[in-house]
Structure 1
Amino acid sequence: MLSRLPVVTRCLSLAALCAAGPVAALQLPLPPPGEDIVGQVQVIKAKYEDTFADLGVTYDLGYSEMVAANPGVDAWLPGTGAEIVLPTRFILPPGPREGIVINLAEYRLYYYPKGQDVVYTFPLGIGREGWGSPIAHTSIIAKTPNPTWTPPASIKAEHAADGDPLPNVVPAGPDNPLGPFKFTLGTPGYLIHGSNKKFGIGTRTSHGCFRMFNNNVLEMAKMVPVGTPVRIINDAYKFGISGGKVYLEAHAPLNDDGTPSVVDKHTAVINAMLKREDLANNLRVNWDEVRDVVAAEDGLPAQIGEPGEAPMVTSAPGDLLQ
């Protein structure tokens, strides 16, 4: 039987959360071998003119993750002096730390430059309902500055039905929905690109491609070579180790096509844990804390256990995660 661990408070003090301020990009040092968490949560006080969309541009955060980390706060008018949590602490995605990893459930991209002990991470817009983004292992096959856009017939038909006909070719420039740069993926029909819209990063807003803030895609353009591997996953629950403790990060689950999902969370959490073979056979879990983390779906890593002698994890107690 697993011993009870003390429940870890999810709302840390301001002193523990506050950081030095915004940075141009989320470039974070990789943790030591055997550890998985990067960055730190920040808390700021909103100004009158602040919105989640504007703060996302400043702090490299997407709209959905800002909303999830700040339940009950008005995303468009937080109010002067309102405390805003910036979810800039991440459990790295499972699997190899190489190339680009996109996690649909996070609306987030991770880039591991070859030969460097850092990771860059950026928010993404992904495919909306009916135009899901793929789960795939692929690569960057081309890089194109100032791209033109040739709308496919399906998108032209959709716009025409809405009374907004598109030209056969949209030239490069401020009205081009691909923004100032595009990466072509080996999966036919899919791109990573900028955008001509200020809003939509961190939401299901595209026709399946991956949208980035323009400053982010231009920064990636300088770093990411053709041939870089790209792994696209959909992990709503990520487990990781830091400082001898085990953490869980939970997001709202999506179907494989990037649409909202109604899942058996009990099974999904156990399956995510079993992906970590180093934990499945050696983990003492506070299931009450797991339940709280899964219920919150706030994207903030929280301690749920510690390594220790325990039977192989194949189930959670009763209906704990229902």
Structure 2
Amino acid sequence: MSNNKFLRPDRRGFLVGSAALGGLLAAPAVLAQTARPVDPSMTNSTEIETDVRDTTPRNISSFRTLQWRDYFSHLRRGAILADTDSRAVHYWSEDESIYRLYPSSVPMSDELTRRGSTTVTRMVEGPEWRPTPSMRERNPEWPAYVGPGPENPLGSHALYLGWQYYRIHGTHDTRKIGRRSSNGCIGLYNEHIAELYGFAQIGMQVLLI
């Protein structure tokens, strides 16, 4: 794998309904960004199979807060909703005191997208990454293993789901957030997956729509 560092865009962080992450915990966190020109040498990432360019549409403007009762029957252990249409991840705490809304990357195609109910089955800080057999078949030049660190496609934290190979995870390549850019997983900024990781627990219900 290349030793090139990932291109990081300039970002403006803001909270919907609150200005402080540690302040009003009920406020969702939404992060907008302004991208710098893309260096073509940076477009090879083991998370994607097509170039992520500045011309690829983002979907930040479609964010809206949602009510958990429209999707879940209860909030025992909390709940995570990943909306692949609006490219956003919602989190509700069990006692309803915390609600978060995060921009996300989503799968590149419907064929790679899985929808339905599952749970968090494993939580890893500093995850390792191995491409799936289908990824290796499509991209035989990819490494068989990438350890934790700045070149790992899973970013800083990963929530493993009940479906094999599916995760909600971070990314060091921030250009992908808000775009169709993954091979099936849901990606978040590293600072957002770190926060969600702190809220999550094994057995937490997850719904992908």
Q: Do both share a fold (TM > 0.5)?
A: yes
Distance in 1 (alpha carbons) for counterparts of 2:106 and 2:24: 22
In the TM superposition, what is the alpha-carbon distance from 1:28 to its structure 2 partner? 6.2
Matches within 5 A, 1:171-182: 171-182=147-158
Match of 1:95 among 71, 74, 77: 71
1:64 aligns with 2:44: no
Q: SS at the partner of 2:165?
A: coil
**What is the one-letter code of the residue matched to 1:141?**
T
1:208 aligns with 2:184: yes
Give the structure with the higher percent helix.
Answer: 1
**What is the one-letter code of the residue matched to 1:231?**
L
Distance in 1 (alpha carbons) for counterparts of 2:110 and 2:34: 29
Distance in 2 (alpha carbons) for counterparts of 1:153 and 1:195: 21
**What is the one-letter code of the residue matched to 2:112?**
G
1:223 aligns with 2:199: yes
TM-score by length of structure 1 reads 0.46
CA contact (8 A) 2:80 2:89 kept: yes
- What are the superposed Cα offsets for residues 25-75 of structure 1, whole Å, 9 maximum, x if unpaired? 89763xxxxxxxx87x9xx9xxxxx7268xxxxxxxxx6223xx4xxxxxx
Match of 1:186 among 162, 171, 186: 162
Aligned to 1:135: 115
Highest CA radius of gyration, 1 or 2?
A: 1
- For structure 2, the 5+ residue unaligned runs are 1-15, 37-56
Distance in 1 (alpha carbons) for counterparts of 2:65 and 2:23: 11
**What is the one-letter code of the residue matched to 2:194?**
L
Q: SS at the partner of 1:212?
A: strand
Match of 1:117 among 91, 97, 106: 97
CA contact (8 A) 2:63 2:88 kept: no
Matches within 5 A, 1:226-245: 226-233=202-209
CA contact (8 A) 1:191 1:210 kept: yes
Distance in 2 (alpha carbons) for counterparts of 1:213 and 1:111: 15
Aligned to 1:153: 133
Structure 1 residues 174 and 27: CA distance shift in structure 2, 3 A: farther
1:51 aligns with 2:31: no
Alpha carbon RMSD of aligned pairs, Å?
A: 3.0
CA contact (8 A) 1:131 1:206 kept: no
CA contact (8 A) 1:27 1:121 kept: no
Aligned to 2:40: none
Match of 2:142 among 154, 162, 166: 166
In the TM superposition, what is the alpha-carbon distance from 1:203 to its structure 2 partner? 1.1
1:106 aligns with 2:86: yes
Q: SS at the partner of 1:100?
A: strand
The higher-RCO structure (CA 8 Å, 6+ apart) is: 2
CA contact (8 A) 1:147 1:180 kept: yes
Match of 2:175 among 199, 216, 219: 199
The share of aligned pairs that are identical, in percent, is 22
Distance in 2 (alpha carbons) for counterparts of 1:169 and 1:210: 20
- What are the superposed Cα offsets for residues 160-217 of structure 1, whole Å, 9 maximum, x if unpaired? 3xxxx12211111000000111111012220111112021111110001111100001
- For structure 1, the 5+ residue unaligned runs are 1-18, 30-37, 45-49, 54-62, 70-86, 234-322
CA contact (8 A) 2:105 2:180 kept: yes
